[in-house]
Structure 1
Amino acid sequence: MPLAFYAQKYSTRTGTVKFEASVASFEEVAAENKSASAIVNAANGDMAVLALMKGFRFKVALMEEHFNENYAETSKYPKATFKGKIANFKVDSLTATPSEFTITGQLTLHGTTKQITSKAKISKSGNTITITGNFSVKPSDFDIEIPSVVSKKIAETIVISYNFSLN
């Protein structure tokens, strides 16, 4: 009878994904989602992330309403997903001191999928792997229309940052 080996998977349901689209001298355009799910396959570095779009919280309720109804259209596109791979990932070589890795994959947002590459800091303490990093996107890359009346108040390039503690 052959032995079966199952790859260890690390996961979380409380990952943080933030985005920043502020422009100097205008009101802050930023939101945070503290309930993103992420999973990493320790054997090969495959990674998947899911964030429900209605989970993004803004400081200003009206901004959150506009985000959900007009920009992200969360009733039509309820989630953002990422499926990718951490290059040269070896769980056994991780330490408490973060090392830099490259993560490449497909981000699906607002019904559009684009290739994304991100530099991430990854560390391991006990049985917890921590992954932090960021990347930039443009709303136009995902067919998100910014009305001209507010376009000067929203950055052309949006920085998305993430922080996952996976067990």
Structure 2
Amino acid sequence: MKIICLAFLALVSISSISLTQTDRYQTRTGSISFEASVPTFEPIKAVNKSTTVVLDMKTGNIAALALIKGFRFPVALMQEHFNENYIESDDYPKAVLKGTLTDFDANRFSQNTSSTFILNGTLELHGKKEVISIPVLLSKSGDQIQLESNFNLQPADFNIEIPSVVSNKIAQEVQVSVNAMLSKK
């Protein structure tokens, strides 16, 4: 009976160790910013510093979630118009990115290195999913991975309508930047 109990305890210990040893890196304080400014008009830009980003080192899968109401603008009226008139955040409260890094191999990704990969996946925004392919720079230092990406989106691709009254004040192409420090979980 003692042997059975010891075997059971050993099995439970091994199981709990394998459950706690994960190849996932994540953060809940990632930053997404965008700019849709045009020359000679007031800058249109915002930042969201509470974005969740998860990277699975075994598969190269990445998932990110940003609550739309988390974007902060320098001008409160812009934030109100963004949420109510353009992105309709009560109806579409989040943006979700899911994809896989092309040619990702965690074994070749070692300490104090930086590598750029292409993330192929989907971005869901304003109730519409679009296939995307964007560059992602990963830099590993210690137990953390810095993730950076810069890319452009077009509001029309996500059925975001810009009224003709202000269309000349808002860029047709929005510049998006992502920056996240991921820790092993």
Q: TM-score, normalised by structure 2?
A: 0.85
Counterpart Cα distance in 1 of 2:156 and 2:68: 17
Q: How does 1:7-86 map to 2 (within 5 A)?
A: 7-86=22-101
In structure 2, the residue matched to 1:166 is: 182
**Does 2:107 match 1:102?**
no
In structure 1, the residue matched to 2:144 is: 128
Counterpart Cα distance in 2 of 1:146 and 1:51: 22
Q: TM-score, normalised by structure 1?
A: 0.94
**Does 2:97 match 1:112?**
no
How far is the alpha carbon of 1:91 from its aligned partner? 2.5
1:117 and 1:135 in contact (8 A); partners too:
no
How far is the alpha carbon of 1:92 from its aligned partner? 3.3
In structure 1, the residue matched to 2:8 is: none
Structure 1: unaligned runs, 5 residues or longer = none
Q: Which runs of 4+ in 1 moved over 3 A?
A: 3-7
Q: What is the aligned-residue identity percentage? A: 47
SS at match of 1:73: coil
Amino acid corresponding to residue 67 of structure 1 in structure 2: F
SS at match of 2:81: helix
How far is the alpha carbon of 1:90 from its aligned partner? 2.2
Amino acid corresponding to residue 156 of structure 2 in structure 1: S
Q: CA RMSD in A?
A: 1.5
SS at match of 2:161: coil
How far is the alpha carbon of 1:30 from its aligned partner? 0.6
Bigger Rg, which one: 2
**Does 2:164 match 1:148?**
yes
Higher helix proportion, which one?
2
Counterpart Cα distance in 2 of 1:104 and 1:159: 18
1:136 and 1:157 in contact (8 A); partners too:
yes
